[in-house]
Structure 1
């Protein structure tokens, strides 16, 4: 698609709301050395915004999950959105890349939203796989109960593999990390950017073909690296789900948002 004749591009933002430090290499890569220091994880929600559409991508987690899992919560995701001038109470479209606790908590902070999720993720997170403690560990049962209640209220939109939500924004299931994980391909002024979420936690995962240890299907996860490369205009157009480097590579929208939000619709400072 030409930048001249395509749809109106989206502004695209990452908002950091939490972090987890003290990690080892084997916390981030299957086969990593437990004696080597590993990258911290930053926790993000994302926003795609233009004159006629606004999508929030993921809803993060709150204080209770932070306490239970030993994460450092900087602010609630809804508060981070407010600093970008977005009221969570007014948001009507939320994309959930998957239903793990750090991506699908705080659903109640979005009382008007329709939530977009892959049907396979709903089946995975409520089905037989949850009999296994290893697979259910990344989920919070109360988040899943909230999700089921929202479904009964008619506020869940289910998708099957690939869906165009708007001209210039599409959903694509990759699976792997979770049964129905989806990535979001967004048309911006610099071309096609992919919010990869946990299809790749860190740049190093997909660039070095290394699997993150929290995984449902390793083969699908590795295949997903090819998918996000195919969907993005370049490796610099892939945005990983938890890499602290995102906050260093991209500029803040304003000085007041330094360390809180960065723009992803402009090129990174370096490759």
Structure 2
């Protein structure tokens, strides 16, 4: 299939449609990003690379990092112990909602909303001697790129205003679902969200979820096929907060979004694809990113359904 030709068509359509949206402002550092940035990169399971636009420029991946956190936790902790502390159901609520968390006695609905990711970070802190370093090493290994790093300015910006996250973690601490010091878990969580990556790097990282848990460069089995199946299922049902159903309806691929404007999606046994456009819709998902991936599955006539 002529993926480069298809991506070129998508780029032309996105430029012509002039989609609405606004850059996230509740994290001051994200508000500084130029709203007209647009990039897309597709990596196939046989190592082909296709791209357009600002696909090489790094941006704050934000909640996309939650997928890597969960992957690492599954390697460090027994599955049953993880799923006792965080559920696998769609939330149907905003990513930072406190209401559902209190109603369900401190058990987050899934690991891809903020409260669930905080529990996953708490699990990682229990198992890792140097969480920030070991997490970064894991992401670099998945991406095959040793230059990926945290953006300290973004992390500091989140720490300065992360009041809802502090409320969530203290609520869960009260219910006994946080084992480590809440402030230390928050610091680790904010660092993971601040990861700076490009569309190319994200697509190359997430191809492991399209390649049955194996890295492309050497076919190393990083994740088991069972874990990949479960993680793809969670991305499909929970990867877009309270817009997961809409993404499944329009795109039909497992994926994850972040308020930095990035979206990554996976077509098992075929490819992974990342899009970046900082202007978000009211649900916190990239407007152009959603449209780009909808066009991709429409033009190719393929999805997991």
Same fold (TM over 0.5): no
Greater share of helix residues, 1 or 2? 2
TM-score bracket for this pair, using the shorter chain length:
0.3 to 0.5
Q: Scaled by the length of structure 2, what TM-score is found? A: 0.30
Q: Scaled by the length of structure 1, what TM-score is found? A: 0.33
Greater share of strand residues, 1 or 2? 1
